[in-house]
Structure 1
Amino acid sequence: MTAIRATNLTKSYGRTVAVSDLSFDVEPGRVTGFLGPNGAGKSTTMRMILGLDRPSGGSVLVDGRPYAQLRRPLCKIGALLDARAVHGGRSARNHLLAIAQSNGIAAGRVDEVLDLVGLREVAGRRIGGFSLGMSQRLGIAAALIGDPEILLFDEPVNGLDPDGILWIRTLMRKLAAEGRAVFVSSHLMSEMAQTADHLVVIGKGRLIADTSVDEFIGRSSQGYIRVRSPRLAEVADLVKVGELHPDHLRVTGVTALEIGTMTARAGLPLEELTFVQPSLEAAYMELTKDSLEYSS
């Protein structure tokens, strides 16, 4: 069954439309990246998934039901929205214990998730003294405490050092490999390129793309074929659609096979004929440029 299904989801605050007629699915067994510029409606959408905001129109289901109808929600979907939204006077262990007890989860699970996120040694410390990175790890522990089938993370790498970023990336890939659905928002395109299998991209509350990472990048116009040859100027004259650089030719609008065929017939030697794929960041910037709330 589809883990999360949004259908014509809409949310308005007075005259401001935060999310407009948004439909997408989050499937088990993969990491789905949720991307969009600031103000695109990502956090609002996540809050509606979790029943924290009521849609103005449309619907969103978690495993076929509205979140409010889940009997033990933390055992179905775990979420990290705001790592700092905790009682600073509690210890990490007591914070997790309170969450566990609210959903009938065994107390022994608390130490399991503390070990999993690397916080066992500071379990007795008050959360108010935690760094942002430690708070993020605690938030991830809270999301995992019910051993849920679905995980929802909003900017989970905020405040993490390089080791922590590698850890959460590996964790998300592992969770997806176990058959869980992982839905994660991020502004770090380099991380999404290494983590996500699928992308849901929105801008100004509307859907821009719902596709695999490779297909999303393929939609960018920034890909090109790099050609090197000891007779580069002659190749450029032959191809006619290239941008000539001192040591190579950049060609768009013609396939590598067509270039190879043309140069072979003309007797022009080639040293390189390579398709250069744009980065996820480049494709994202191109495809969301008209959806920016703030631009400079």
Structure 2
Amino acid sequence: MIEAAGLTKRYGAKTAVHDLTFEVRPGHVTGFLGPNGSGKSTTMRMIVGLDRPTSGTVTVGGRPFRQTPNAPRKVGALLDAQAVHGGRSARNHLLSLAQLSGIPASRVEEVLDVVGLRDVAGKRSKGFSLGMGQRLGIAAALLGDPQVLLFDEPVNGLDPEGIYWVRTLMKRLAAEGRTVLVSSHLMSEMAVTADHLLVIGRGRLLADMSVREFISRNSADFARVRVADDAAGRTGELAAAVAEAGGRALKEPDGALRVTGIDLPRISDLAHKADIRLWELSPHHASLEEAYMRLTQDVVDYRSTDDELAGFTPPEDEAHPLDTAPGPPEVPEVPAQGWYAPPPPGQAPPQTRSRP
């Protein structure tokens, strides 16, 4: 288990990590998410003793990494796949690590098989592709057969087969009762790989909860509705009927309605009663990407001036003309990307959640 309490790291006047308290438990794949510059890599470096905390503590199995006997056989980490002497072959690189940690040479051949590099084990690593370098880094992390594993962007440079392999490997390691912490920017992968999430922004903890709970708390499901004869103003009529029934209708850029607060059968009944033909009535279930974007939109440090997400959260007194339902407005209009989902009416998502 990895435990952090009040973990803080400052570099001069800049605070890279601020008062992080969390646990990474065995038996689960824990996703470690956050925008660039949020402090993920710094946190992982403190876990494995490469950086000393300014204040607070972080332990692995109840001890700081630097005080853990024969640490490489208990903790494996992939933090920088390029940290390899390019003149060494893959096999010799792993053999040197094994000798430093008292690991049998036979284990090197085992991990070469696991990561699929046996056929190129005698080649110098400087000729490796990015994906091959990632596999070699994963092999080094697995070398000591550790109970605690940390991976920073493990699928970087891998092809679809390699990504699937890493996903399966992470799940298998966790199923064996190991502690697995994975940092990644690929939300689609985290959605199908991680069981639990730690999300940080500008060095602060934003969320600590299961993937399902994270999506539920930071997004909302909705129905997408398109009226057949919109030129006759029927979209507005349906929006008014939805509002009268206790729902909320928001107009999307393409003219469709985004409806929350009532289910699809009720929307269909309202349209039928008003003699409004529908071309589309489809459910939309929130994704991890949507929930993540909603939570972290205000803590992104690097954003293009052309980015349509910049400042897309509207002032609370703005509302779309079709949004006639009482209560605080959600958004005046859905951004063109189509994946932003507003929070449930009248409810703001919590910023931090501790695990029970």
Give the structure-1-normalised TM-score: 0.89
Matches for 1:104-253 after TM superposition, within 5 Å: 104-226=102-224, 236-240=239-243, 241-243=248-250, 249-252=257-260
Quick check: 2:221–2:286 contact (8 Å CA) kept in 1?
yes
Alpha-carbon RMSD: 2.6
Amino acid corresponding to residue 140 of structure 1 in structure 2? I
Residue number in structure 2 paired with 1:292: 300
Instruction: Measure, in 2, the Cα distance between the counterparts of 1:229 and 1:295.
Output: 36
Matches for 1:12-31 after TM superposition, within 5 Å: 12-31=10-29
Larger RCO, structures 1/2 (Cα 8 Å, 6+ apart): 1
SS at match of 1:96: helix
SS at match of 2:150: strand
Task: Kindly state the Cα deviation for residue 219 of structure 1 after the two structures are TM-superposed.
Answer: 2.2
Quick check: 2:264–2:283 contact (8 Å CA) kept in 1?
no
Amino acid corresponding to residue 242 of structure 2 in structure 1? V
Residue number in structure 2 paired with 1:283: 291
Q: Which moved more, 1:276-285 or 1:42-51?
A: 276-285
- Asked if 1:64 corresponds to 2:62, the answer is yes
Deviations, residues 250-295 of structure 1 (Å, cap 9, x unaligned): 222x24399479859x799999976522221122112111111111
Q: Taking structure 1 as reference, are residues 193 and 221 closer, same or farther at Cα in structure 2, changes over 3 Å only?
A: closer
Q: Taking structure 1 as reference, are residues 22 and 268 closer, same or farther at Cα in structure 2, changes over 3 Å only?
A: farther
Structure 1, gaps ≥5 residues long: none
Instruction: Measure, in 2, the Cα distance between the counterparts of 1:147 and 1:221.
Output: 39
Amino acid corresponding to residue 259 of structure 2 in structure 1? V
Number of residue pairs aligned between Structure 1 and Structure 2:
293
Deviations, residues 174-201 of structure 1 (Å, cap 9, x unaligned): 1111111110111111111111111101
Instruction: Measure, in 2, the Cα distance between the counterparts of 1:227 and 1:270.
Output: 11
Residue number in structure 2 paired with 1:87: 85
Amino acid corresponding to residue 250 of structure 1 in structure 2? R
Amino acid corresponding to residue 41 of structure 2 in structure 1? S
Instruction: Measure, in 2, the Cα distance between the counterparts of 1:226 and 1:159.
Output: 36
Amino acid corresponding to residue 189 of structure 1 in structure 2? M
Instruction: Measure, in 2, the Cα distance between the counterparts of 1:248 and 1:24.
Output: 42
Instruction: Measure, in 1, the Cα distance between the counterparts of 2:57 and 2:255.
Output: 55
Residue number in structure 1 paired with 2:263: 256
Q: Taking structure 1 as reference, are residues 119 and 251 closer, same or farther at Cα in structure 2, changes over 3 Å only?
A: same
SS at match of 2:22: strand
Quick check: 1:227–1:270 contact (8 Å CA) kept in 2?
no
Deviations, residues 137-192 of structure 1 (Å, cap 9, x unaligned): 00000000111111100011111111111111111111111111110111111111
Deviations, residues 228-255 of structure 1 (Å, cap 9, x unaligned): 8999866543221223679964222x24
Q: Percent identical across equivalent pairs?
A: 63
Q: Taking structure 1 as reference, are residues 224 and 257 closer, same or farther at Cα in structure 2, changes over 3 Å only?
A: closer
Instruction: Measure, in 1, the Cα distance between the counterparts of 2:14 and 2:262.
Output: 45
Q: Which moved more, 1:132-141 or 1:219-228?
A: 219-228
Instruction: Measure, in 2, the Cα distance between the counterparts of 1:69 and 1:136.
Output: 28
Give the structure-2-normalised TM-score: 0.75
- Asked if 1:41 corresponds to 2:44, the answer is no
Amino acid corresponding to residue 295 of structure 1 in structure 2? R
Deviations, residues 34-90 of structure 1 (Å, cap 9, x unaligned): 111111000000000000000001000101110011112122111000011111111
SS at match of 2:298: helix
Deviations, residues 81-132 of structure 1 (Å, cap 9, x unaligned): 0011111111111111111122221111000000000000111111122111
Quick check: 1:239–1:259 contact (8 Å CA) kept in 2?
no
